[in-house]
Structure 1
Amino acid sequence: MVRVIADVGRPGRHCVVDDSRDNRSLGTSGPDVANLGLVRPPFVYLGSIALGLVLHLLWPARLVPPSVSTPVGAIVTVLAIALFVSAVRILRAAGTPVPGNRPTTTIVRTGPYRFSRNPIYLAFSLVQLGLSLWVNSLALLTTLIPAVAIMWLVVIPREERYLEARFPSEYSPYKASVRRWL
């Protein structure tokens, strides 16, 4: 089906959208997106961080001496943010959307995607690890475990099934040659 959409910000401008691709072209009966929004990765990690901070306020338990935790945590957090920014830029440069609730357009194999199939999720995990060190919080570190488990057991397998169905000849070799996390 072809739709014409008016550009609200620019009167007289229109965009033609081809919606003819349906799920049958994927060979599946599932949706044409990697993430339905039921378990959104940013919210998994934000919830994990929020819970960890609340638990830290209720039962503060330190990990290591502050003279070690603060600088190491800051460095890990900054490196994680740099990894996230790099991964997002590479996806945008390739013309594929970052949110998993929009159809993926290509398999990206450059930048951080050369060594990790999930550098954005790796960055989210490293941000929480860095923050837990920075604020020296055992609770914040502990709540990272269920967040990673949700990603490992729920989110990533669903996305991988989607990518294998959408890009059968491209994703399988990529999956075989690049690790899930590191």
Structure 2
Amino acid sequence: MNAYRVKPLAFPWPPLIYAAAIAAAFLLQAWCPLETAQTEVWIARAAGGVLIATAAVLDVWAMRTLLDCQTAIMPNRCSTHLVTRGPYRLTRNPIYLGYTLATAGLGLVMLNPWCIVTAMVAAGLTNIVAIKREELHLLSRFGIDFERYCNGTARWI
């Protein structure tokens, strides 16, 4: 039996990766602060708020769609259905995209540019640690249907 058929990940790494990214950003700002322009702080904070709100809506919408389709939300659980509707029409990884937007948005709200850097690093790590394995799992479960979905939908945006 194909190992990816059982479950994609042994542990749900992405939430921990993004939590570590946020912690690293605040540690980096304390040890090696990056200066931010103080002239239009409200613009950065407003943009950060928009990113965080967008991330929250995207994550809730994606989780609700998965629940409606009666399939797993956690990345260490086996998928029972290929979900291609809701936010999954726009991106194959709306939850991870939401995590990335929230991390960057937090950086804008808190005026911590390191959050934007660590958000990109977390996205790269998530791609390596989780997404590639999840895609192999979905390919083994859903075959050509998943290939068609991948051809028509971007991995991130």
TM over 0.5: same fold? yes
Q: How far off its partner does 1:145 sit?
A: 2.5
Aligned to 2:57: 82
Aligned to 1:110: 85
CA distance 1:29–1:143, shift in 2 (3 Å): closer
Contact 2:4 2:140 in 1 (8 A): no
CA distance 1:129–1:64, shift in 2 (3 Å): farther
- Structure 1 segment 154-173 matched on structure 2, within 5 A: 154-173=129-148
Question: Do residues 34 (structure 1) and 8 (structure 2) align?
Answer: yes
Q: How far off its partner does 1:148 sit?
A: 1.2
Aligned to 1:46: 19
From 83, 108, 120, the equivalent of 1:145 is 120
How many angstroms apart in 2 are the aligned matches of 1:114 and 1:30?
24
Please tell me the residue identity of whatever aligns with 1:100. Answer: P
- Structure 1 segment 91-110 matched on structure 2, within 5 A: 91-110=66-85
Q: How far off its partner does 1:59 sit?
A: 2.9
Higher helix share: 2
Aligned to 1:71: 46
Runs of 4+ in 1 over 6 A off after TM superposition: none
- Aligned-residue CA RMSD in angstroms? 1.5
* Structure 2 unaligned spans of 5+: none
Higher strand share: 1
How many angstroms apart in 1 are the aligned matches of 2:116 and 2:4?
35
User: How many residue pairs align between the two structures?
Assistant: 155
Larger Cα-atom Rg: 1
Deviations 1:38-72 (A, max 9, x none): x6100000110111112122333244441221111
Of all paired residues, the percent bearing the same amino acid is: 30
* Structure 1 unaligned spans of 5+: 1-23
